Amino acid sequence: MNQHKKFHLKTFGCQMNVHDSEVLAGFLEGLGYQEVDDVKETDIVIMNTCAIRQKAEEKVVGMIGKLKKLKRENPSLIIGICGCMVQQEKTAEMIKSRFPYVDLIFGTHNLHRFSELLTEAQESRETILDIWPEGKEVVEGLPISRKDGIKAWVNITYGCNNFCSYCVVPYVRGREKSREIVNIMMEVEGLAKEGYKEVTLLGQNVNSYGKDLGQGVSFALLLEKMGNIQGLERIRYMTSHPRDFNRELIEVISRSQKVCEHFHLPIQSGSSKILDKMNRGYTREHYLKVVADIQKMIPNSSITTDFIVGFPGETEEDFLDTLEIVEKVRFDASFTFIYSVRKGTKAADMPNQIPEEVKKERLYRLNEIQNRISREIHEVLKGSIVNVLVEGFSRENDSYLTGRTRTNKLVNFTGNKEIVGKIIPVKITEAKTWSLDGEMVQETVRKR
């Protein structure tokens, strides 16, 4: 029988949370616990929550409710709730009073204290609630349990200073703080030595990396330095802010052999009036100029984006501006969201909130156009040979391997498991809306 104590970790939200969960798993594995998929078999269950939209929160509340039965069957089970949702004081209080069987509630700023918090929770009969309103300094040296050995997430900044008027992130993740460049470099060099091929640098606005460090430190400089790391093949980053995406950065990327030709540039709306109300700090024209610079300086790159439909005051005309920009830029893909009211943000109190049916109808129209364009862009790739970093077997069909191109397109193809972790040429045979099918070929292609 397996004597290891077990933990089950459920993660919601963005890559920042996914990476925080790797830290939690790192702590737990260090304490001798083993991760399990089945929540019924576990000694500890932790939910790392997201607050970005109402729906994300509702899902978590529903799931905490369901844990009651498990706790009754196994009273020594430890239930922990952490992440962005409980960083909101009222929500943390609500969870504590509505679900008294929760053992531990902690936020995003005291993740590094997890081991102590867990011990406290195990020793106490009361719910331990420990939320810090703001992080102190960046804590280095946390344990990280990475799973695949091929691709790794690496934090470069924490928090956000932008206060887009719809967004909860600055309230739940605190002010922007950059990690020292030497610490990031050390981490990535270590990963390359372990055989990792790709890193994704994480921050809510990676373009403002280093502004709080002074001495000429910038995101462009970080990318330049990282380009020299032996063994590392691909560098990605998320998320960029179109306001801060300048020519210097595009030049550095165009010169780099390692930084991928994929630009995720969340636009949110095609209407300058709405962008202003969103406090995004750029106009439609500025965005189009950045895109034109990218397309000119780095041909064949892919551009993806995020949209919010139904922001307060969005008229049909504003929405048509959004549809028009989709046709104009021809994004490879878009993440599209219905505006969700977040208490405490500026937009929550704005007049002219849009009715739910109108928001839904706009989302539908936007997705129709985007899906057509994604498909058209993929059709053009049929017959071409692309370099794919092979990640493993496809989730839907395990006789297929799966991987991504430098432009971040998902490719499924047949092959053997010896090539997992390698970059290999694949000929595209079939185009779908969100992915491509292909077959392995012998030819080699240049970098792009």
Q: Which residues bind ligand SAH (CB under 6 A)?
A: 14, 52-53, 166-167, 169, 204, 239, 266, 268, 306, 308, 337, 339-340, 342
Residue 26's Cβ-count burial label (10 Å; 0-12, 13-18, 19+) is middle
What ranges in 203-341 are assigned the alpha helix state H?
A: 219-226, 247-255, 272-277, 284-297, 316-329
Footprint on residues 46-85 left by ligand F3S (CB under 6 A): 50-52, 84
Three-class DSSP category at 339 = coil
Give the whole-angstrom CA distance, residue 169 versus residue 173.
Answer: 6
Scanning the structure block, which residue is given the tokens 């703080």?
177
Three-class DSSP category at 229 = coil
Contact string 246-265 vs ligand SF4 (x = CB under 6 A):
--------------------
Q: Which of 355, 327, 326, 325 is nearest to 341 (CA)?
A: 355
Give the whole-angstrom CA distance, residue 54 versus residue 295.
Answer: 36
Footprint on residues 321-360 left by ligand SF4 (CB under 6 A): none
Closer by beta carbon to ligand SF4, 162 or else 407: 162
Closer by beta carbon to ligand SF4, 122 or else 161: 161
Contact between 305 and ligand SF4 per CB under 6 A: no
Q: How far is the CB of 4 from ligand F3S (least distance, A)?
A: 29
Q: How far is the CB of 274 from ligand SAH (least distance, A)?
A: 12
Contact between 163 and ligand SF4 per CB under 6 A: yes
Among residues 23, 24, 169, 226, the one that binds ligand SF4 under rule CB under 6 A: 169
Residues contacting 130, CB < 8 A, separation 6+: 105, 106, 107, 110, 113, 117
Closer by beta carbon to ligand SF4, 109 or else 406: 109
Contact between 238 and ligand SF4 per CB under 6 A: no
First to last CA, the chain: 50
Closer by beta carbon to ligand SF4, 305 or else 394: 305
- Binding site residues, ligand F3S, CB under 6 A: 13-14, 16-17, 50-52, 84, 168-169, 172-173
- Binding site residues, ligand SF4, CB under 6 A: 160, 162-164, 167, 169-170, 204-205, 241
